[in-house]
Amino acid sequence: MCIFCQIISGELPSYKIYEDEKTLAFLDIKPVNPGHTLVVPKKHYENLETIPAEELGSLMVAVKKVGALLKDKFGVIGYNINENNDPLAGQLVPHLHFHIIPRREGDGLKLWPGRDYAAGEAEKIIKKLLA
C-alpha cells in the first residue's frame, strides 16, 4: 500500500486540512513554503492518465477549495498548483496528487526557465501531435 493510501486509511498520521467523500488534503511534510498542501483522490490512481474524468473533476474542485482556504485563512495572495506526472517528471509517490504551494512576496521560489523554439521546431511538434 502506498504512503498516501496509508494516510487516507488512517494508518499514518497527517495534518489534514480538507476532506470530502472523494478527496483528502493534508500538509506536505517537506514543504516548499509554509502551508504547502497535497490534494489526493481517496482512490488510488497512479497518474493523471489513470483517473476517470469524473473523479478528476471532483479532485479539481477540492484543489480549488483548498486554494481558496489558503487565501482566506492563511493570508496568502497567490499559490502555485503543480502535479508531477510520473517519476521522470519528479513524482515521488505513485499516487496522483496536486501540490498547492502558497506564495508570499520575496519567498525566493523560482519557476522553471523558458526557452525559445529553434527554427522549425514548433512546426515539427505540431505536425507530430496533430498527425
Asked if pLDDT for residue 8 goes beyond 90, the answer is yes
Grade residue 112 by pLDDT with cuts at 50, 70 and 90: confident
Please name the residues in contact with 107: beta carbons below 8 A apart, sequence gap of 6 or more.
33
Give the domains, in start order, of the chain with CATH numbers: 3-113 (3.30.428.10)
pTM score > 0.85 for this model?
yes
Catalytically annotated residues: 97
CA 90/CA 58 separation, integer angstroms: 24
Q: Which of 24, 2, 20, 23 is nearest to 11 (CA)?
A: 2
pLDDT tens string 48-80: 999 999 999 999 999 999 999 999 999 899 999
91 half-sphere exposure, CB direction, 13 A CA radius: 18
Mean pLDDT of the chain: 96
